[in-house]
Structure 1
């Protein structure tokens, strides 16, 4: 079978350049790459179709074709869309319609045939799946990864601030594109049941997809790469990573505490990740302070507890409140924060293995986590996990009464502290959760199982067209047929969907 992965934003290359260093890159690209590689290893032909960028600041993404070393049947195909330089994902919409989709169709026409099916990722990839299917009849699955309405909720969008926020994020295009994608896809793929029933049932998507229709949805969780994060694996920079971490602990941790276990977290510096709640939990528990140090992995920031971040929002919303708690509770010498020297999975995996040797614990205390791949990767490496009960971890780390990780209320620092104390104060509990979490992930959450489920679903769609769902199709908005026309998506349309009709969006004209 021949499968195309539609992923216009970010980019792919064999060296995984920038994959964790830009908002348009990150977990979504890792997901697409891993599923594509796993499907290819099963003997199928896979194209990862993305946007060509010809820009001195982004030299990795200029060539039309690239492959991954040692993989014969996966191609990275980069095709132009609008200006040659890099564009943030929020500004790609008109260029996808006017350039990228026509270039995809032209490319495959010249090759002599289209893929058997497409799988579309994020709202922009989904929109392209809609347009390609309408032109060719090629079916597609839609994997949103995240939905715009939830981001609007987190930004606390109101009728009054909608024009200003939309000017930056272009939600008016994203919401319409997501509605079309989930309405016209053969199947919507979610990582959890909670994502299906909570995120897709948002009022902004009413009438687009029926969350109660099992033909419309398939839950396929992503996986952790045991070939990278496995406890017995050794990366090329294993010892160098160990030495680097030890130097940072010497820099930040008091002499007599350096061999203690760590409460380790690794996440983006975003308020929703709730690093502050974790620091507050550590500050309020004398038991935790006696038994462990707190270690925050902070992306590209090497000393964020002492040096301000270049990003004012991160500085004011995340780091300044953490420093205040550290200062008020005199946590100096008990807490370390730094970025790893190489922002790649191999270095992160080596860090986890270093921390396992000290009988450490991994913590994810996000206010809400749609899936939560990070704790599963930590579990594969042998770290027991304390994770938020809000979102994906409630499914991956618990089944009925069986626990594979300790779930906590992220809005209650005392509950976070209790969860951490449970593992750090009882050697048997640490051993149980280290083994149970690892075995759970290796059995249920691997990229091979993700790819097998994708492939099974796509084979059903291709072989049995009559089995595809028959929903009432939403009309394609005129803007997405011709962005150069005079018909744009209006804020009033977005307001009607997000807030409900009969609400008045305030615009400059008012």
Structure 2
């Protein structure tokens, strides 16, 4: 048996959802979502696949079928290298949409990815999520399976919000444009649940992650990304790097002058307009060097998205204002393969690479430029601090100091000895500190030290037993959903009895088992096949009410109720509910909204104390805390997976906030009309959530008709 086939070889799943991801000809700079992260995850997957103790690497992203992008992104599988592949999973609409519009579809992506994972020969050893959207998905899959979660933020919402506020934007505008609060909530939850957080620089940990309630430096590791030296290297011969020069000649009167090069997306945060203004304010710079700004690819600025359109239009206006014609080049197109040529062209000219971004989480282009022999001028905010500190090959600048840009550029360009020193030092130290092979080895040393995931949940129901049911299921809350209208309940019970052999009947309730059984009996509801009670912390099977021990063992991970009780006992507006409403895995309180902290404040307090739990407010007055791995939605997914019932054939009904995760994702969700249904208003735009016009059992009957459920 080879080492790769040994039981110790790891199966790793990388999750990176947004942007355009493929193995060749990356469309870097096409839009704000297709930048350095795209390249990072591709190179990471390739580097890991080359390690002897890796069995398999899957890079999971979104499948896109749209005329606006290549058909490459509609291929479910794409081989990357050896035992590494790209896996594309359906997520919401077929169209290519910005990451800010993906949030409502991530639950469906999670459900689809879980189905795919369970079709594989075995589940992965590690999940590694990239960015907040993938963190949301990775968190939920980790909670359902017990697989350890590793996370890389790439950029963080709190830092972005802070910097946008500094530019004068108001919070409401930031939220409307970026859904920043939803992103920050996802980041907090992901950080709390991650076994390991990988950052690229110490600055990233201290300046960005430190802003979070779940800041835990002891579980963070600094592993800088690598660089491919076969693509990025110094000019090796006369003329090497000059093939891109014809693209610039149409712009430049004296194309042989040194090149000040900026290469980034046309994004306001990249601050390239400030660089152009610094150049326009300095006749010495204009006499000394040309400015080349490679800002993505474009055919027609008028057809671009608002953000890139604003940046490119402003660039053209600044060029016109300073009359920089013949001095500045803004080429329309470049390919991924040409980036190395562009760097070598600037290096051959004895130019400089500039990254003037307001903040730069890492700065992969800085490594590429340095490996090509270019000195660096870069923002002092973020990753460049570490890169220039390690490579000793340039100067840091304040991105708000336009004059400082020009002074730093002149310092290097007017001093040939310093230019040579920075060039040689960059080439040497990039090879010393920033290779993908070294990154992969450091990465594996960290994840090898993680605790093993809990025993994966078994499929306890045999296919013979499961086949007794048609592949349909109904799961409903009791209070203010199933109950509340006697006539409607009578009609629904009649339908349940008529169709009972066609579907699995399930209760998903916040009540304890004894309370749920008593009220169902009192209202003459047929005994369910399965009862999910105490907000998803208990599962029992009829008719003998057998408890699912595997589920209890699974959700017990990290659960410390005694510590939680001490934390909550002094909070105003919270009063413990009677013992009859408490259970082993559920702490329940009466919640007085007039005096109690908000749910956001309670979650913040829990995060600061390093608790990973689920907090639910139902009917505006009942606050419940359960383990992170427990919820009605997660328990429902566990049950139907056991029985091979697709989520698209599960009718999940509810009427308050405690039901939300049953309704999200691929289930056929139903919100019955009642005075608390507003707690589920965030689901209103979701395709698979139906808001019934009628209340209680009538609403369930209405939804069964709406979905034509028994004829699916």
TM-score bucket (shorter structure): 0.7 to 0.9
The aligned residue for residue 185 of structure 1 is 194
1:2 to 7, 11, 18: 11
1:295/1:56 CA distance change after superposition, 3 Å? closer
The aligned residue for residue 75 of structure 2 is 63
Query: Are the counterparts in 1 of residues 135 and 151 from structure 2 also a CA contact under 8 Å?
Result: yes
Q: Could you tell me how far 1:332 is from its partner in structure 2?
A: 2.4
1:277 to 256, 274, 278: 274
Q: Could you tell me how far 1:160 is from its partner in structure 2?
A: 10
Separation of aligned partners in 1, 2:220 and 2:96:
33
The aligned residue for residue 360 of structure 2 is 369
CA deviation digits over 1:372-415, x for unaligned, max 9? 1112111111111111122211111025xx83211122222222
The aligned residue for residue 229 of structure 1 is 232
Q: Could you tell me how far 1:131 is from its partner in structure 2?
A: 1.0
User: Are 1:424 and 2:424 matched, yes or no?
Assistant: no
The aligned residue for residue 50 of structure 2 is 41
Query: Are the counterparts in 1 of residues 12 and 125 from structure 2 also a CA contact under 8 Å?
Result: yes
1:125 to 126, 134, 143: 134
The aligned residue for residue 403 of structure 1 is 392
Q: Could you tell me how far 1:347 is from its partner in structure 2?
A: 0.3
1:282/1:54 CA distance change after superposition, 3 Å? closer
Q: Could you tell me how far 1:31 is from its partner in structure 2?
A: 0.6
User: Are 1:83 and 2:73 matched, yes or no?
Assistant: no
Separation of aligned partners in 2, 1:112 and 1:311:
43
Query: Alignment RMSD, CA only?
Result: 3.0
1:467-482 aligned within 5 A = 471-475=610-614, 479=660, 482=663
CA deviation digits over 1:238-290, x for unaligned, max 9? 98x834423522x2222xx3211111111122222222222232233333222
Separation of aligned partners in 1, 2:394 and 2:400:
18
CA deviation digits over 1:153-197, x for unaligned, max 9? 343399995455434432332121111111100011111111112
Q: Could you tell me how far 1:464 is from its partner in structure 2?
A: 9.4
Q: Secondary structure at the match of 1:417?
A: helix
User: Are 1:448 and 2:437 matched, yes or no?
Assistant: yes
Number of equivalent positions: 464
Separation of aligned partners in 1, 2:174 and 2:17:
23
- Shifted more, 328-337 versus 184-193: the winner is 328-337
Query: Are the counterparts in 2 of residues 183 and 473 from structure 1 also a CA contact under 8 Å?
Result: yes
Q: Could you tell me how far 1:10 is from its partner in structure 2?
A: 2.5
Q: Could you tell me how far 1:35 is from its partner in structure 2?
A: 0.7
Query: Are the counterparts in 2 of residues 116 and 462 from structure 1 also a CA contact under 8 Å?
Result: no
* Structure with more relative contact order (C-alpha pairs < 8 Å, separation 6 or more): 1
CA deviation digits over 1:348-368, x for unaligned, max 9? 111111222111111111222
The aligned residue for residue 209 of structure 1 is 215
Separation of aligned partners in 2, 1:339 and 1:277:
20
Greater C-alpha radius of gyration? 2
The aligned residue for residue 438 of structure 1 is 427
Separation of aligned partners in 2, 1:265 and 1:159:
26
- Shifted more, 178-187 versus 56-65: the winner is 56-65
Separation of aligned partners in 1, 2:111 and 2:120:
14
The aligned residue for residue 96 of structure 1 is 106
1:218 to 218, 221, 224: 221
Query: Are the counterparts in 2 of residues 35 and 451 from structure 1 also a CA contact under 8 Å?
Result: yes
Q: Could you tell me how far 1:52 is from its partner in structure 2?
A: 2.3
Q: Could you tell me how far 1:126 is from its partner in structure 2?
A: 0.9
1:351/1:469 CA distance change after superposition, 3 Å? farther
Q: Could you tell me how far 1:232 is from its partner in structure 2?
A: 5.5
Query: Are the counterparts in 1 of residues 23 and 42 from structure 2 also a CA contact under 8 Å?
Result: no
The aligned residue for residue 506 of structure 1 is none
Separation of aligned partners in 2, 1:112 and 1:152:
42
Q: Could you tell me how far 1:33 is from its partner in structure 2?
A: 0.8
Query: Are the counterparts in 2 of residues 263 and 293 from structure 1 also a CA contact under 8 Å?
Result: yes
Q: Secondary structure at the match of 1:201?
A: helix
The aligned residue for residue 172 of structure 1 is 181
Q: Could you tell me how far 1:119 is from its partner in structure 2?
A: 0.7
User: Are 1:260 and 2:257 matched, yes or no?
Assistant: yes
The aligned residue for residue 356 of structure 1 is 347
| Unpaired runs of at least 5, structure 2 | 1-9, 455-556, 560-609, 617-657, 672-676, 683-712
User: Are 1:114 and 2:123 matched, yes or no?
Assistant: yes
Separation of aligned partners in 2, 1:314 and 1:109:
41
Separation of aligned partners in 2, 1:160 and 1:405:
33
Q: Could you tell me how far 1:89 is from its partner in structure 2?
A: 2.1
Separation of aligned partners in 2, 1:489 and 1:225:
48
The aligned residue for residue 373 of structure 2 is 382
CA deviation digits over 1:107-136, x for unaligned, max 9? 232223101111111111111221111111
